[in-house]
Amino acid sequence: MNYFTHEALLRRRSLLGALAFGAFSVFWTTMAFLLSHAPYHYNDLTIGLFGLVGAAGALCANFAGRWADRRWTNSTTLVFATLVAASFATLWWGRHSLAMLIVGIVLLDVGVQGLQVTNQSLIYRLAPHARSRINSAYMVCYFIGGAVGSIIGSLTYEHMKWSGVCILGAVIGLVATFIALADSLNSTPHPSPAVTH
Q: Name the nearest CA neighbour of 106 among 94, 118, 123, 120.
A: 94
Q: What is the pLDDT of residues 10-45, one digit of tens each?
A: 999 999 999 999 999 999 999 999 999 999 999 999
Question: Are the C-beta atoms of residues 118 and 74 closer than 8 Å to each other?
Answer: no
Q: What is the pLDDT of residues 159-192, one digit of tens each?
A: 999 999 999 999 999 999 999 999 888 765 444 4
CA distance 157 to 105: 18
CA distance 16 to 192: 19
State yes or no: cis peptide before 191, omega within 30 of 0.
no
| Per-residue pLDDT, 194 | 46
The structural domains of the chain, with segments of one domain joined by +, span 7-38+60-186
Contacts of 100 (CB under 8 A, 6+ apart): 90, 91, 93, 94
Q: What is the pLDDT of residues 105-154, one digit of tens each?
A: 999 999 999 999 999 999 998 888 888 999 999 999 999 999 999 999 99
> How distant, in Å, are the alpha carbons of 34, 105, 114, 155 from that of 26?
12, 12, 18, 10
CA distance 190 to 9: 10
Compute, in degrees rounded to 10, the torsion defined by CA atoms 82, 86, 88, 92. Answer: 170
In CATH, what number does 7-38+60-186 get?
A: 1.20.1250.20
Question: Is 0.75 topped by the overall pTM?
Answer: yes
